[in-house]
């Protein structure tokens, strides 16, 4: 008998819908090429996401509710990309449609849209203003987080789908672009302009916005920052700039952030590593003016009171709380916004492009837009998801069905059973191997080190397999109630078998024989903790195909005779 599978929270949390449990099982089986193929069913940047994805999937992992850490999904994605690079399953071939699509911007959204449109038989051309493609992946993310050879290889692989990329080409007019014979256009121009603070002195020498700073470094034009650097902001750009400044020779780096650490938008692991490397973070403070004194910069700040919990109410400066931060360079990282050319002649919503949410269509016929130029600054995986939605919308606009989903990896039912001798699974969590701090400042070496195949398999084996049905074999049940205890801990935070979503019900039959009936309540979400902790194998995970054999009338109940 079975408990029907639920939608895995990790897959539901992924903006692009990557089938996480499926590729984790393939890692356990040692089938790395197939695991990479599963990832490529949803995204064309498996390696990039393996290095820099913020991991919304991990935030929803059910393991985190009872274990010391969620599944290390991002690190395992990188492991697969590193160990199966070059191995791929071909996508379906669609006949050429003769339709041409212009895509403005070669970041993750633009290249993703181009990739899926090419697979649909259209002819996409990507226009990039900079000398190299990649958008924010190249100009905003430091090499110690995303090696450039990894990014270059992935972009070249995407181009093989039939994409033309024209770099050094800035588009200023949509009318002129469409006049070249394009049937549709997708705008993915990003949000590459730094937001100003609006204080005295921010336009003076020695003050630079974070994106300009990171762009210079990532394109090999490393600026001189001096021995002391002050950074304003709490997002990834601020933290990336702080750690980059250390690699350029700065000895004292201070981040000033107007909110609390819990409110920082930067990824927690990046904040932790910045602090380990020596970055000082001053919370609940905001700059009020910057001045040049004796060849240095003096940034005068005010302490702030915390704002509203919903971040809508900004922190308020406290009068009379002034203090100064001295530095040779001040880097401003308080936000990013798109820079939409007037020649686009589009309806805007503030600084961003106004679109129809259901179709991504702009105010100009045949022109679509998505990602940062619509939503403001976002993550790589969110931009990839926007590119997928754009490809669907544009394909429909061009007469297609908008179907880009593919099942490339072989079905799991065809896989032989996997026998593993791994020890009981323990979380690697924050123990992902890292380069020592003393080795990080000789250039921009990668900080996060790769997992070994043994560690990767053990970590992947922690997965609760939320997407598979729970198979209950009552004949193996010994009424130990461990399943109920762990289930109640999950739902109530304490051991109380009456609060569990799984029930062990003794039933006395007419002949006096006692039967144990296993049932699941409606609140059961299929997390599988009962499976993980069942000591007798009475509860196991089945395959997706087993549910098809379930008999009509079965309602998640099984029974066994007992004495």
Question: DSSP labels for 456-467?
Answer: HHHHHTT---TT
Taken as a whole, the chain contains a residue count of 563
Same domain membership, residue 353 and residue 256:
no
Confidence of residue 419 (pLDDT cuts 50, 70, 90): very low
Same domain membership, residue 264 and residue 187:
no
Same domain membership, residue 29 and residue 80:
yes
CATH number at residue 74: 1.10.1060
pLDDT at 414 over 50: no
State pLDDT tens for residues 366-409.
999 999 999 999 999 999 999 999 999 999 999 999 999 888 77
Rounded to whole angstroms, how far apart are CA atoms 107 and 190?
7
Confidence of residue 552 (pLDDT cuts 50, 70, 90): very low
Residue 343 lies in a domain: yes
Mean pLDDT for the stretch of residues 359-372: 97
Residue 258 lies in a domain: yes
pLDDT at 202 over 70: yes
Nearest CA to 534 out of 467, 468, 485, 466 is that of 485
State pLDDT tens for residues 329-342.
999 999 999 999 99
Q: Which pLDDT score, from 0 to 100, does residue 507 have?
A: 76
Tokens read off for 64: 């985190």
Mean pLDDT for the stretch of residues 171-194: 96
State pLDDT tens for residues 224-250.
999 999 999 999 999 999 999 999 999
Same domain membership, residue 240 and residue 161:
no
In terms of pLDDT, which residue wins out, 514 or 546? 514
What DSSP line would sit under 338-384, residue for residue?
Answer: ----GGG---EETTEE---TTT-B-SSTTEEE-THHHHSS--HHHHH
Same domain membership, residue 201 and residue 331:
yes
Rounded to whole angstroms, how far apart are CA atoms 402 and 393?
6
Rounded to whole angstroms, how far apart are CA atoms 291 and 337?
26
Q: Which pLDDT score, from 0 to 100, does residue 438 have?
A: 93
Q: Which residues contact 80 (CB under 8 A, 6 or more apart)?
A: 23, 27, 32, 35, 36, 39, 46, 50
Q: Which residues contact 316 (CB under 8 A, 6 or more apart)?
A: 304, 305, 307
Same domain membership, residue 369 and residue 281:
no
pTM score of the predicted model: 0.89
| Residue that finishes a domain, picked among 373, 397, 421 | 397
Average pLDDT score, the chain: 89
Q: How many domains does the chain have?
A: 4
Which of 170-174, 415-419, 532-536 is least confident?
Answer: 415-419
Q: Which residues of 330-353 are buried (b: 16+ CB within 10 A; e: fewer)?
A: bbbbbbbbbebeeebebeeeeebb
Residue 402 lies in a domain: no
CB 301, CB 326: distance < 8 Å: no
CATH number at residue 369: 3.50.50.60
Same domain membership, residue 240 and residue 318:
yes
| Residue that finishes a domain, picked among 440, 460, 480 | 460
Long-range contacts of the stretch 500-504 (C-beta < 8 A, 24+): 501/525, 502/530, 504/477, 504/479
* Sign of the torsion formed by the C-alpha atoms of 228, 231, 237 and 240: positive
Give strand pairing partners of 173: none
Interhelix angle for 148-159 vs 108-119, to 10°? Answer: 30
Residue 465 lies in a domain: no
CB 428, CB 41: distance < 8 Å: no
Tokens read off for 211: 């994106």
Give strand pairing partners of 228: 252
CB 272, CB 303: distance < 8 Å: no
Q: Which pLDDT score, from 0 to 100, does residue 276 have?
A: 97
Same domain membership, residue 305 and residue 269:
yes
Same domain membership, residue 549 and residue 496:
yes
Residue 176 lies in a domain: yes
| Residue that finishes a domain, picked among 336, 352, 380 | 336
Residue 2 lies in a domain: no
Confidence of residue 352 (pLDDT cuts 50, 70, 90): very high
The fraction of the chain above a pLDDT of 70, given in percent, is 89
CB 213, CB 139: distance < 8 Å: no
Q: Which pLDDT score, from 0 to 100, does residue 67 have?
A: 65
- List, in sequence order, the alpha helices (H) in 398-452: none
CB 48, CB 137: distance < 8 Å: yes
State pLDDT tens for residues 260-307.
999 999 999 999 999 999 999 999 999 999 999 888 999 999 999 987
Same domain membership, residue 501 and residue 442:
no
Same domain membership, residue 222 and residue 305:
yes
State pLDDT tens for residues 82-119.
998 665 556 677 899 999 999 999 999 999 999 999 99
Residue 95 lies in a domain: no
Tokens 């980059």 correspond to 244
Domain holding 249, by residue range, is 193-336
Same domain membership, residue 178 and residue 241:
no
Nearest CA to 435 out of 424, 427, 443 is that of 443
Rounded to whole angstroms, how far apart are CA atoms 474 and 472?
6
Residue 269 lies in a domain: yes
Nearest CA to 265 out of 378, 375, 188, 373 is that of 378
């Amino acid at each position: 008998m079975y408990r029907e599978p639920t939608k895995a929270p990790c897959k539901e949390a992924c903006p692009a819908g990557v089938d996480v449990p499926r590729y984790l099982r393939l890692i356990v089986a040692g089938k790395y090429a197939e695991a990479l193929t599963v990832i490529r069913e949803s995204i064309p940047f498996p390696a990039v996401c393996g290095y820099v994805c913020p991991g919304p999937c991990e935030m929803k992992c059910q393991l985190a509710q009872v274990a010391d850490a969620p599944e290390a999904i991002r690190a395992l994605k990188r492991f697969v990309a590193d160990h199966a690079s070059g191995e791929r399953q071909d996508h379906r071939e669609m006949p050429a449609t003769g339709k041409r699509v212009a895509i403005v911007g070669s970041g993750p959204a633009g290249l993703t849209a181009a990739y899926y449109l090419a697979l649909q038989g259209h002819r996409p051309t990507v226009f990039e203003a900079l000398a190299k493609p990649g958008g924010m992946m190249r100009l905003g993310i430091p090499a110690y987080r995303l090696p450039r050879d990894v990014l270059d290889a992935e972009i070249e692989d995407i181009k093989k789908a039939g994409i033309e990329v024209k770099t050094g080409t800035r588009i200023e007019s949509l009318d002129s672009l469409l006049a070249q014979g394009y049937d549709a256009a997708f705008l993915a121009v990003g949000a590459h302009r730094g937001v100003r603070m609006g204080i005295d002195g921010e336009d003076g020498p020695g003050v630079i916005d974070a994106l300009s700073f990171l762009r210079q470094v990532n394109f090999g034009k490393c600026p001189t920052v001096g021995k002391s650097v002050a950074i304003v902001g709490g997002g990834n750009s601020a933290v990336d700039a702080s750690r980059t400044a250390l690699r350029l020779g700065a000895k004292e780096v201070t981040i000033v952030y107007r909110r609390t650490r819990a409110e920082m938008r930067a990824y927690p692991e990046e904040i932790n590593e910045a602090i380990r490397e020596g970055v000082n973070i001053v919370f609940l403070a905001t700059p009020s003016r910057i001045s040049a004194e004796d060849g240095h910069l003096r940034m005068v700040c005010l302490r702030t009171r915390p704002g509203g919990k919903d971040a809508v109410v900004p922190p308020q400066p406290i009068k009379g709380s002034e203090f100064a931060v001295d530095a040779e360079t001040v880097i401003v990282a308080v936000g990013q916004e798109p820079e939409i050319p007037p020649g686009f002649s589009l309806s805007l919503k503030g600084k961003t492009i106004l679109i129809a949410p259901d179709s991504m269509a702009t105010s100009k016929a045949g022109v679509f837009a998505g990602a940062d130029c619509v939503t403001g600054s976002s993550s790589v995986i969110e931009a990839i998801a926007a590119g997928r939605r754009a490809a669907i919308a544009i394909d429909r606009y061009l007469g297609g069905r908008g179907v880009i989903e593919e099942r490339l990896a072989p079905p799991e039912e065809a896989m032989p059973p996997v026998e593993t001798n791994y020890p009981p699974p323990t979380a690697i969590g924050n123990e992902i191997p890292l380069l020592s701090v003393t080795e990080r400042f000789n250039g921009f070496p990668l900080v996060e080190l790769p997992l070994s195949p043994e560690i990767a398999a053990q970590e992947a084996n922690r997965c609760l397999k939320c997407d598979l049905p729970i198979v209950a074999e009552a004949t193996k049940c010994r009424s130990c109630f461990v399943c109920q205890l762990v289930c109640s801990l999950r739902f109530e935070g304490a051991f109380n078998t009456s609060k569990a979503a799984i029930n062990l019900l003794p039933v006395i039959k007419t002949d006096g024989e006692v039967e144990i009936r296993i049932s699941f309540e409606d609140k059961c979400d299929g997390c599988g903790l009962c499976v993980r902790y069942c000591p007798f194998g009475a509860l196991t995970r089945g395959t997706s195909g087993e549910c098809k054999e379930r008999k009509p009338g079965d309602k998640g109940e099984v029974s066994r005779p007992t004495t």
